[in-house]
């Protein structure tokens, strides 16, 4: 159970957005040789990717690699590993992914596996094009980037495939990563993902690393402390950390802004600071009442410098809260391993852009050791010469045409481009589903899918269970329900029901129909057959006694259920998707009946 301190420190509410990745190379003859080769590979990778990250303002962590060597891991040989937090900046995440793709292009024997806190990020991006068999329950150790392409290890289709794909486990265990890597290096199966998946990922990765430069945003900022101005100009990543502390503030850290002990207010300094679009948008759109200490220095709302002063006030409060939180944080390792990968460690770990072994407090104190007013003026002049004006904020406004284009890209096709729906085919598939499907604790097994209970008897019980049932009373026995016979009864024509030799079950069903027909609202909710003659021996003068059209009611209920989903996931849509039936988008207005 979380303690009160953990709640105030947000350990229970924060979701840490991170990307975890590993780079595998073929092992050498001995672990020592493999580790020495990895050290050379690591240096070569960092040198090759250094231009990609030059002057890039990371939201949290930059690209890092460490050598993991443990015989208890899968694989057992050493490999390169890293984890990077990216906060709310998805641009950072996809820059990291683009860098990993580049590694597989530069080194032909490099295989990359990666996932973020949501799971297999590459599969999520290409979700519209995945094969039907692939889902989160069976994707472990199957998704890799190799030679600039996404590879998906297929499921074994024969016993021979099972042993070929999992030789170390003799086909008796889930796919091991070591077997998957060996399969890719030796090309023992066709693993390249489909062209549609490759195109979907290529569109997302297109433009990097140049696209990452668009994340930078320069804005005039009025700071009310000269030392804070020096810190932001001498070490720009500090701005992102300060805004992160401001954006995720809690009542305890907010008290630090009441006194501003670390950075007391002095002469205002107007500076053109480099922001990221993420941090700038987070700051501008945050409603924040200034602490009373700022009342005498902030301009009025109609002043030309009001927006810049508000921006600087929030940034300075964020810096104060950042150092306050760092002073009460539990010391965490500067280098995180996969064994330590949990929210608490990631939350308290210093950003990777800080020199190893230093905390945020120590790093800030070291930067301030070199502070002088003269050095601050040098940084201000250099910043003014490099950037002459602030950037436009039009990118924060969503134009209606752009929104429509995004919705059209991820939405359904126009009605004139969609395939027509065969209602007869839909009805037959539903009837086949009701007759031939099976269900258990894991859900419904559709016709044609393999059930985990195939090895059991036709009634779903093993022989041991049958022995146990012999000792049970009749009242404890499970009810036997023949779905096939039930459907046949529903489809019987009226002439058959009128015969002299009426089955007891059919007679019972007839009585139930007559009972339901006496309820006006219930009877009116069914669609009935048209044009049927009166049944011999029975007068059917009222409409309520007309036989119910089973198939027409089925179609009506399915369509009404699908319409009730309003475009969201639901039971009707999920079931139709299993039948490969795509209903068109409902273009009707209001609550018109189907």
Question: What radius of gyration, in Å, describes the C-alpha atoms of the chain?
Answer: 33
Tell me: pLDDT of 278 over 50: yes
Backbone angles phi, psi at 528, to 5 degrees: -115, 160
CB 272 within 8 A of CB 218: yes
Tell me: pLDDT of 42 over 50: yes
pLDDT for res 224: 92
Tell me: pLDDT of 19 over 80: yes
Neighbouring residues of 320: CB distance < 8 A, sequence distance ≥ 6: 256, 257, 260, 261, 262, 263
Q: What is the mean pLDDT of residues 150-164?
A: 79
pLDDT for res 540: 46
SS3 456: coil
SS3 152: strand
Tell me: pLDDT of 437 over 60: yes
User: Assign residue 147 a region: left if phi > 0, alpha if psi is -120 to 50, beta otherwise?
Assistant: left
- Per mean pLDDT, which range of 53-62, 213-222, 359-368, 483-492 is the poorest? 483-492
pLDDT for res 452: 44
CA dihedral 319, 322, 327, 330 (to 10 degrees): -170
Q: What is the mean pLDDT of residues 17-33?
A: 90
CB 18 within 8 A of CB 59: no
Tell me: pLDDT of 257 over 50: yes
Q: What is the mean pLDDT of residues 270-298?
A: 90
* pLDDT, tens digit, 9 for 90 and up, residues 516-537: 666 665 655 656 555 544 444 4
Inter-CA distances, 137 with 119, 143, 167, 374, Å: 11, 13, 22, 61
- Per mean pLDDT, which range of 16-30, 160-174, 451-465 is the poorest? 451-465
User: What is the 3-state secondary structure of 81-136?
Assistant: EEEEECCCCHHHHHHHHHHHHHHHHHCCCCEEEEEECCECHHHHHCHHHCCCCCCC
| Diameter of the chain measured on Cα atoms | 111
Residue ranges per domain, the chain? 15-208, 215-396
CA dihedral 318, 319, 325, 326 (to 10 degrees): 150
Q: What is the mean pLDDT of residues 354-376?
A: 86
Tell me: pLDDT of 348 over 50: yes
- Give the residue from 355, 323, 348 showing the smallest Cα distance to 333: 348
Q: What is the mean pLDDT of residues 1-18?
A: 49
pTM here is 0.68
pLDDT for res 583: 67
């Amino acid at each position: 159970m979380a303690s009160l301190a953990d709640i105030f420190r947000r350990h229970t509410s924060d979701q840490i957005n991170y990307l975890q990745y590993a780079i595998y190379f073929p092992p050498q003859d001995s672990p020592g040789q493999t580790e020495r080769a990895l050290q050379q590979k690591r240096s070569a990778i960092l040198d090759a990717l250094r231009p990609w990250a030059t002057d890039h303002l990371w939201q949290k962590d930059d690209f890092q690699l460490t050598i993991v060597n443990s015989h208890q891991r899968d694989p057992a040989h050493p490999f390169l590993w890293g984890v990077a937090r990216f906060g709310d900046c998805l641009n950072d995440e996809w820059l990291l992914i683009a860098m990993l793709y580049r590694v597989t292009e530069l080194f032909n024997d490099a295989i990359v596996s990666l996932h973020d806190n949501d799971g297999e990020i590459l599969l999520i991006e290409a979700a519209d094009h995945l094969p039907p068999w692939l889902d989160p329950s069976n994707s472990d150790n199957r998704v890799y980037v190799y030679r600039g392409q996404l590879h998906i290890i297929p499921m074994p289709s024969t016993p021979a495939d099972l042993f070929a794909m999992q030789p170390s486990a003799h086909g008796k265990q889930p796919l091991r990563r070591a077997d998957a890597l060996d399969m890719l290096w030796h090309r023992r199966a066709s693993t390249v993902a489909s062209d549609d998946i490759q195109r979907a990922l290529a569109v997302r990765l297109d433009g990097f690393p140049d696209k990452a430069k668009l994340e930078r945003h320069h804005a005039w900022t009025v700071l009310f402390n000269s030392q804070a101005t020096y810190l932001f100009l001498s070490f720009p990543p500090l701005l992102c950390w300060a805004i992160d502390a401001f954006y995720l503030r809690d009542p305890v850290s907010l008290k630090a802004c009441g006194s501003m002990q670390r950075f007391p207010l002095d002469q205002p300094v107007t500076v053109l600071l480099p922001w990221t679009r993420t941090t700038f948008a987070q700051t501008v759109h945050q409603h924040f009442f200034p602490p009373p200490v700022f009342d005498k220095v902030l301009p009025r709302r109609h002043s030309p410098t009001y927006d810049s002063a508000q921006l600087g006030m929030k940034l300075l409060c964020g810096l104060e809260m950042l150092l306050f939180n760092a002073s009460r944080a539990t010391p965490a390792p500067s280098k995180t391993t996969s064994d330590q990968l949990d929210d608490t460690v990631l939350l308290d770990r210093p950003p990777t852009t800080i020199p190893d072994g230093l905390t945020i407090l120590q790093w800030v104190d070291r930067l301030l050791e070199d502070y002088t007013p003269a050095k601050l003026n040098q940084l201000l002049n250099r910043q003014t010469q490099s950037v002459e004006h602030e950037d436009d904020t039009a990118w924060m406004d969503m134009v209606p045409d752009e929104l429509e284009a995004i919705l059209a890209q991820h939405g359904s096709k126009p009605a004139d481009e969609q395939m027509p729906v065969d209602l007869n085919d839909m009805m037959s598939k539903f009837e086949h589903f009701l007759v031939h499907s099976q269900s258990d604790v894991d859900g419904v097994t559709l016709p044609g899918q393999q059930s985990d209970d195939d090895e059991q008897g036709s009634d779903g019980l093993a022989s041991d269970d049958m022995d146990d049932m012999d000792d049970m009373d009749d009242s404890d026995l499970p009810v036997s329900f023949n779905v096939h016979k039930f459907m046949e009864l529903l489809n019987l024509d009226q002439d058959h029901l009128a015969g002299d030799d009426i089955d007891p079950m059919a007679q019972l069903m007839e009585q139930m129909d007559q009972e339901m027909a006496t309820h006006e609202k219930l009877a009116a909710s069914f669609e009935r057959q048209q044009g049927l003659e009166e049944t011999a021996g029975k007068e059917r003068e009222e409409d309520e006694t007309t036989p119910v059209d089973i198939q027409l009611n089925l179609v009506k209920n399915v369509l009404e259920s699908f319409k009730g989903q309003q475009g969201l996931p639901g039971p009707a849509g999920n079931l139709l998707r299993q039948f490969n039936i795509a209903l068109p988008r409902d273009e009707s207005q209001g609550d018109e009946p189907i």
